[in-house]
Structure formats: structure tokens, C-alpha cells
Structure 1
Amino acid sequence: MLVEEVMKTDVITLTAKDTIETALKLLHEHHIRHLPIVDEEKRVIGIVSDRDVRDASPSIFEKGTSPEELKNPIESIMTYPVTTVHPLDFVEEVASIFYEQEIACVPVTRNDILVGIITEKDMLYTLIQLTGTHVQSSQIEVKVINKPGILPQVTQVFGKRKVNISSVLIYPYKPDPKYKIIVVRIQTMNPLPTIEDLKSAGYEVLWPKMPGMQS
């Protein structure tokens, strides 16, 4: 899945000279957590989060604070340089950026011009779609030998039963690297016939563990 398929294109931005007070109002009014900072050509030069603005705002509980702090330009608290991604990047690659850089938002640029934004919430929703958990389905986990060609062999069993597959994921089997786990979500609330098919084909079903069934 590409970034352009999940990014938001209606992006609220500020310039470096806009005030912290303006940022605070926009964050509250639009219920957002990040504001890209752009120049006249819509190139991203910084980014601020709701936490940045909150930390820079005077506390009502502290004496001696002045609302004049809110008049400071946003460039005084923005983060730069900014990590950006391209609309044709893969969502999986963006997930790695979120994890490795410990960030919660990345602007999307084309030819250095801002065209969208993608947040951790967008990433979570995309993960839900990719795993098929947004539709009524059943999950089956199958332990298989880690060898070329094993995936089509397993999915062939599902094909014979003519069940609709929502998603397929593959995980390592930590106790033994010679094996891996294939996780298949199928659009049925009764996976028992498919489980029986898999067992008859010689596969070990790790989940679901049905009463009275042996692996």
C-alpha cells in the first residue's frame, strides 16, 4: 500500500512567523496534534506538535508567567530539519521511520512541496485494513516449515474450501527458526471445516485451539 492511498491531503499549516497562540488555537479547533511549518513555496521547514505548544505555553498554576509568551513566533519552538516521505513510498517503510525515529507524524512532499500528511493514527488504521480485522472474519495460525513455496501450498487448502481470504501475514516461529507461522484471516465465523482440511493436509494449526482437537 502506498502513502498516497492513506495520507490526508487537507493539511493545516503555519508559517515560521505565525505565533504560538495561533498554533494553539488551530490545534484545539481542528482536534489535531501536528502542524507543518512551511515557507511561501509550501516547502516544509519545520513541524510543531501539541506537546511543543503546550510546553511553550504559560501555566495558569505558575506565578510570574505572562501570556506574552504566546506571542512568540512558532519558529522558536518548531522542530527542524523535518523527516518527510514521498506519496509513492510504501506504508511499511513509513512504519519503520515512525518506529526508528520515535515520531508520530511525517509530512508528505513531492518535489519538496507539501502535498499531505500521515500520522500514527493513519498508520494504525492502515494496519487494521492490512490485517483484515475491520471485517467479520476468523483467524487461523498454521505452523509450517520455513522453505520456498510453502505459502501457496497452504493457501491451496483454503482455495479448495472456497473461503474468502481477508489477509495473510507471516511471522517467525521463535522457538525454532526452521519453522514459521502463517496467519490467515478468512471471512467466515465457522473456521472448523477449514481447520480440519489443514490438519488432514498434515499442517499443525496453532490457533484456534478447538476443544477436543489435537495439533
Structure 2
Amino acid sequence: MNIKKWITHDFPVVEETATVGECLRKMRQYQTNECVVKDSEGHLKGVVNREDLIDLEMDSPISDRISLPEFFIHENDSITHALLLFLEHQEPYLPVVDEELRVVGAVSLHDFLEALVEALAMDVPGIRFSVTLEDRPGELKKLVDALSSGKINILSILTARELDGKKEVVVKVDTEDEKLLRDLLRMVGIEVESMEKEEGF
């Protein structure tokens, strides 16, 4: 998934000519301790943190308190790459730039949650179920082939390794027929561990 879909244009950003007061008001507006800073042409100059401004007068310029940005992403980066940077960054917003390092927006924790909702197909009706498979090639294919034989479409699939050489697989499908699902999987030797209908929204 490309980050471009999740970019927001409503985030704390000021120009490098801003004063301390302007910057603090922007932080207060977005309930954050950091502002993205750009120049008059929109290029990313860095970030300013609240703690860097506490010893300055309100009408002082922020220009000499701008820190070089350690974390930013390009608009064509993947959502997974952005999420890793976001976890390292640990701020509410992550700047997004184009090829010329112009600020085109930002991504926030809320944006990542929306991406997760879509990736897990939480917004559409269906059934989510989990199974445990051997952690070896071909095991997942058995599950997919079983669903395909019943003409059941997969909406999302997530795997996680367990400690005993197995992996948990959580699948969302576009059917409401629980019995059909269990029967199809049982035919290939897969027992369903949990199953829940989801209405979507």
C-alpha cells in the first residue's frame, strides 16, 4: 500500500520565518509538541520542538531553533516503511515530501489506523477466522485452494509465527456461511480455531 493515499494536508506546519508565538499556537491547535518547518518555496527545513522554544520571547524567530529532520518519508513510499519510521519518530506527525524535498503533507497515527482498517477489511461485511498451520511452504496454499474451491473470496490475510514451528493465520472472507467455511477447511485437514461474523461499516 502506497502512503500517498493516506497523506493529510491538515497538520502542524510553519514557515522558517515564523515567531515562537506563531509556532506555539500551531502546536496548541494540533495538540502536539512539534511543528514541521518549511521555507518560502515549501522545502522541508526541519522541525521545531516546544522544549527548544521555552527560553525565547514570543516574538522571537524560530529560525535558529530548527532541527534537521531525522525522520521524513517520500510520497511514493510504502505504508509499511512509513510505519517503521513512525514508530522510531514517536511524534504525532511524520512529514511527507516530494522528490525535491518539498513538503506535500504529513501522516498521523490516525491515518495509520485508517490504513489498518482497510488492510484488514474491517470496513466490509464478512467472516474473520483463525487457524494454526505448520510453518512450512505449501501450508497456506491448502487454505487458499480450499476457499477457492468454494468460490469464497479472501478480503484480507494476516500471518504471525508462533514458537513451536507453527504460524497463526487470520483470514477475512466475503461469505456469511460459517458451516461451508468449516467444511471446506476440514476437507483439507484444517480446523478453525475461532470464527466471527463482522458487519463492516
Name the TM tier (shorter chain): 0.7 to 0.9
| Aligned positions of 1:108-187 closer than 5 A | 108-110=96-98, 111-174=100-163, 176=164, 178-187=165-174
Could you say what secondary structure the match of 2:148 adopts? helix
1:37 and 1:101 map into 2 onto residues whose CA distance is: 16
Q: Structure 1 regions of 5+ residues with no counterpart?
A: 59-67, 210-215
What is the CA-CA distance between 1:42 and the residue it aligns to?
Answer: 1.5
Residues 204 and 75 of structure 1, relative CA distance in 2, 3 Å threshold: farther
What is the CA-CA distance between 1:37 and the residue it aligns to?
Answer: 0.5
Q: Pick from 56, 73, 90: which aligns with 2:78? A: 90
Could you say what secondary structure the match of 2:193 adopts? strand
Aligned partners of 1:144 and 1:204 also within 8 Å: no
Asked if 1:102 corresponds to 2:83, the answer is no
Aligned partners of 1:57 and 1:70 also within 8 Å: no
CA deviations 1:173-201 (Å, max 9, x no partner) are: 23x1x211111011234433202221222
TM-score (norm 2): 0.81
Moved more, 95-104 or 85-94: 95-104
Could you tell me which residue of structure 1 aligns to residue 199 of structure 2? none
Aligned partners of 2:154 and 2:171 also within 8 Å: yes
Aligned residues, how many? Answer: 194
Could you tell me which residue of structure 2 aligns to residue 197 of structure 1? 184
Could you tell me which residue of structure 2 aligns to residue 43 of structure 1? 43
1:196 and 1:70 map into 2 onto residues whose CA distance is: 69
Asked if 1:2 corresponds to 2:25, the answer is no
Aligned partners of 1:35 and 1:47 also within 8 Å: yes
Q: What amino acid maps onto 2:104 in structure 1? A: V
2:106 and 2:112 map into 1 onto residues whose CA distance is: 11
Q: Structure 2 regions of 5+ residues with no counterpart?
A: 197-201
Asked if 1:208 corresponds to 2:181, the answer is no
Aligned partners of 1:143 and 1:182 also within 8 Å: yes
Highest CA radius of gyration, 1 or 2? Answer: 1
Would you tell me which structure has more strand in proportion to its own residues?
2
Could you say what secondary structure the match of 2:69 adopts? coil
Residues 38 and 188 of structure 1, relative CA distance in 2, 3 Å threshold: same
1:56 and 1:73 map into 2 onto residues whose CA distance is: 10
- Aligned-residue sequence identity (percent) comes to 22
1:79 and 1:188 map into 2 onto residues whose CA distance is: 52
